[in-house]
Structure 1
Amino acid sequence: MIKLVVTDLDGTFLNNKGSYDVELFKKVYAEMQQKGVTFVACTGKQCERVEKLFDEHGKGIWILGDSAARIKKDGEVIKEFSMDKDLALKAIDRIQDFDKTMTLIVCASDAAYVHSSISEDMYKVVKGSYERVIKTDSFETIESRFIKITVFDTEGRSTALRAHVEDTLSGQIYIVDSEAKWLDITALHTHKGETVKKLQEMLGVTYDETMSFGDGENDVELMAIAKYSFAVSNACDNTKKAASFITKSNEENGVLLTVQKILDLQ
């Protein structure tokens, strides 16, 4: 009996335009609620951006946002896993030492912060994943808790950047190059897999009662927390290898159609 459905958003639940089939979602989500199945959006996006994405259709959805460093439900912050500020600033120094032109997004408990010098084009990219964005002249002046550091690199050097940061901070932070252009840094042991485990404990749901969906490198851990783990057909090789099953792509409503089939069986 499935009681928990956890899905990544970009490249998995969302199509390549960053949207989803609203009518199909409403239908499937209503059936999930009727059968007592909890729906979880587990994503690198800011929780508030996810709230806007689902809008009035999102009542009751659990959001594991900012790369699962924050948990929200119905507008309430349930839990946050913050970074040590000094350690976060060391990571920022390493990133800027690699290349100062990369777009840095410092996610804090109140907003996502970007440098005041950010171009309009890059600001639009940031707004695609972050609802609350504040420009600052210095990340050191941020007074709220540091949650996550994200880097966007138009040249796709996230793997090389990861190695550069890990050279001095390995074992002190969690770092993943989720895509060639995207890199995320959170507190040690803070990632999608661990946060979902905490949610499972909170809800009293087991591994055997969980379904998960993903596509990127940062979804590999998500495949390990569910007996019924699915990689969408457009997923990276590592996520496909870690998944128990392969389903249709994000362009084919793979997540919703799979959930619908499973719900019909129970």
Structure 2
Amino acid sequence: MFKLVVSDLDGTFLNNSGTFDVDLFNQVYGEMQESNISFVACTGKQCERVEELFGEHGKGIWILGDSATRIKKDGVVVKEFTIERNLALQAIRDIESFSNDFIIIACTTEAAFVHSYIQDEYYKIVKGSYKEVIKIDSFDQINSSFLKITVYDPSGRSSLLRKHVEKTLMDQIYIVDSEANWLDITALHTHKGETVRKLQEILGVTEDETLSFGDGENDVELMSIAKYSFAMKNACDNTKNAASFITKSNEENGVLLTIKKMMDLQKQ
């Protein structure tokens, strides 16, 4: 029997418009609640942005947000995993030394910070994943605890940037280029897979009792924490290779339909 469902959001649970089938979700989630199955949104998005996305429909869901550096449920932060301030600022300096045209998002326990000179088109992209965004003249002014550093690169150089930063910080941070345009830096050993394991411990749930869904490079670890791991049809090759199964795409309600089918099988 499975008791926990963990799903990435962008490219997995959410469709390409960044929304989801509310009626189908309410139906499936209602059945999950009746069966005492927990639902987890595991994402790079800010927890508060996830709460905004689900609205009234998200009561009771677990959120592993900000690239799994925070565990939150019903407005209450359960755990946070921070990156040492000097290390975070060093990472930012390394990023800026590679190129000065990256969109750097410094995520803290308070908000997401961006440079005050950010262009409107890129600020809009940032707001798609972060509800609380503050413009700042220098990241050195940040006094809150750092959760992660995220980089958006319109030119798609994330892989090259990762290799550049790894030259000096490889053994001190966790870094992943989830897509050509996106890169995340968190504390060492802090990633989706490890944070899900911590949640499994909190809930007393095993890998054999877990379903997971993902599509990107940063979802590979999600495939290892669940007996029933599903890569979306639109997933990258590494995630597909790591998954136990391939399911329908994010445009076809792959996550919700698979959960429904698995619950039906479980009842039988």
Q: Using structure 1 for the length normalisation, give the TM-score.
A: 1.00
Secondary structure at the counterpart of residue 17 of structure 2 = coil
Does 2:221 correspond to 1:227?
A: no
Indicate the residue corresponding to 2:166 in structure 1.
166
Task: Quote the offset at 1:34 in angstroms.
Answer: 0.2
Indicate the residue corresponding to 2:96 in structure 1.
96
1:133-212 aligned within 5 A:
133-212=133-212
CA distance in 2, matches of 1:207, 1:234: 24
Structure 2: 5+ residue runs without aligned partners? none
Letter of the 2:11 counterpart: G
CA distance in 1, matches of 2:57, 2:206: 26
Secondary structure at the counterpart of residue 149 of structure 1 = strand
Does 2:18 correspond to 1:22?
A: no
Secondary structure at the counterpart of residue 151 of structure 2 = strand
Q: Deviations over 1:48-100 (max 9, x none)?
A: 00000000000000000000000100000110000000000000000000111
Letter of the 2:150 counterpart: T
1:66-105 aligned within 5 A:
66-105=66-105
Indicate the residue corresponding to 2:44 in structure 1.
44
Indicate the residue corresponding to 2:237 in structure 1.
237
Secondary structure at the counterpart of residue 208 of structure 1 = helix
CA distance in 1, matches of 2:209, 2:141: 44
Secondary structure at the counterpart of residue 91 of structure 1 = helix
Task: Quote the offset at 1:264 in angstroms.
Answer: 1.2
Letter of the 2:57 counterpart: H
Runs of 4+ in 1 over 4 A off after TM superposition: none
CA distance in 2, matches of 1:102, 1:204: 41
Indicate the residue corresponding to 1:123 in structure 2.
123
CA distance in 2, matches of 1:98, 1:19: 34
Secondary structure at the counterpart of residue 205 of structure 2 = coil
Q: Deviations over 1:164-207 (max 9, x none)?
A: 00001011000000000000000000000000000000000001
Secondary structure at the counterpart of residue 260 of structure 1 = helix
Structure 1: 5+ residue runs without aligned partners? none
CA distance in 1, matches of 2:29, 2:265: 16
CA distance in 1, matches of 2:11, 2:134: 26
CA distance in 1, matches of 2:7, 2:96: 32
CA distance in 2, matches of 1:130, 1:261: 33
CA distance in 1, matches of 2:226, 2:187: 23
CA distance in 2, matches of 1:171, 1:31: 44
Secondary structure at the counterpart of residue 19 of structure 2 = coil
Task: Quote the offset at 1:265 in angstroms.
Answer: 1.7
Task: Quote the offset at 1:243 in angstroms.
Answer: 0.1
CA distance in 1, matches of 2:54, 2:264: 24
Q: CA RMSD in A?
A: 0.4
Give the count of matched residue pairs: 266
